[in-house]
Amino acid sequence: MRFSPLSLALALCAAIAAPVVADDVKKTIGEIERLDPAFDKLVAPEAKIEVLADGFEWSEGPVWAPEGFLLFSDIPNNRIVKYKPGKGTDVFMQPAGYTGMPKFEGQEPGTNGLAFSPEGNLTMCCHGDRNITQIVDGERKVLISHYEGKRLNSPNDLVFHANGDLYFTDPPYGLPGGLNGKEAELDYCGVYRLAKDGKLTLLTKECPRPNGIALSPDGSTLYVADSQECFVKAFPIQEDGKLGESKKVYDAAEWKGKRPGSCDGLKVDTDGTLWITAPGGVVVVTAEGKQLGRISTGERTANCAFGPDGTLYMTADMYLCRVKTTAKGTIGSE
């Protein structure tokens, strides 16, 4: 059954508030840097970075819903926000990532990455609840919360394979005290696969702080962004589901500290080009690692997602932004 916004709101008693902002385009920010002529085929010379909404504490995890609107997380405020073109933004779900009764002791209780399953169910990385939860027929269903009897850190980002397998990252950014805190049960950050049959497999601990995650168009390569070391690695997916030897396709370590943000989220278009949130904005890189251009918001840019018309939506600190492109998102990149 496809996810229904109305049934979800009723089932969760979501706080439907007055619009945060009604205007579609409030202003433009930043600049677009063209590093290779091929970039002109993806982003037109006249394109601008448009701010659609602002006033969020830390916007993250955008995903385009089949019903024709964008959802994204406002993590510190423990809410999911809905943006509908021409209508502005509303609070879609609150609470979102933390549903416990005691006051959350950390800074990031909300959801982070959001995705729709092949069946159309909204699936959420819940920082505060330390699990991945899916909305099925209007009800919250926990898909996974433990690995080998130990609670996960704080699931961060996720992507569905066409075969129904779910890949996700588990750094400690939503865990009070981090890996050294009293609530930590794992002493590492992992990348996992939750198979359609419910089996959870730890794929790698190679990335010290794995964050964004994406798949190549044919589903044969898994991309993982690491926020601590500021790189993106490509892992071939083997026939048995395990990962082969990785290689770096992008390294932004030299920019860390010089531009705001780090390697965080990423999406892949239908041609296999990577759109990576990195220091200063979004960098566009071929699957071979060639940099084509940068969409420089000038803000700490957390993640991005494609709309159905090729528009790239970006969550950049307090802002929700967009830039018009000719690219199309693959499954899991919208």
Question: How confident is the model over 215-247, as pLDDT tens digits?
Answer: 999 999 999 999 999 999 999 999 988 999 999
Tell me which fold the domain 5-323 belongs to: Neuraminidase (2.120.10)
C-beta atoms surrounding 230 within 10 Å? 22
Hey, what are 9's tokens? 């709101």
Do residues 123 and 117 make contact, with C-beta atoms less than 8 angstroms apart?
Answer: yes
- Record the pTM: 0.92
Do residues 168 and 185 make contact, with C-beta atoms less than 8 angstroms apart?
Answer: no
Q: What angle do CA 321, 323, 329 make, to 5 degrees?
A: 105
Hey, what are 49's tokens? 């970075």
Q: What is the pLDDT of residue 3?
A: 41
Q: What is the pLDDT of residue 23?
A: 56
Largest CA distance in the chain: 54
The DSSP symbol for 178 reads G
Residue 274 pairs in a beta bridge with 268, 285
Q: What is the pLDDT of residue 118?
A: 95
Q: Using DSSP, how many helices (H) and how many strands (E) does the chain show? A: 1, 28
Hey, what are 282's tokens? 């979004």
Say how far apart CA 137 and CA 128 lie, in whole Å: 23
User: What Cα–Cα distance (Å) separates residue 10 from each residue in 111, 223, 310?
Assistant: 19, 36, 32
User: What Cα–Cα distance (Å) separates residue 161 from each residue in 60, 116, 158, 213, 305?
Assistant: 21, 11, 10, 11, 16
For β-strands 27-29 and 281-285, DSSP reports them as unpaired
Say how far apart CA 37 and CA 42 lie, in whole Å: 10
**Residue ranges in the chain modelled with pLDDT below 70:** 1-23
Q: What is the pLDDT of residue 2?
A: 38
Enumerate the domain spans of the chain: 5-323
Q: What would the pLDDT profile of 149-166 be if each residue is shown by its tens digit?
A: 999 999 999 999 999 999
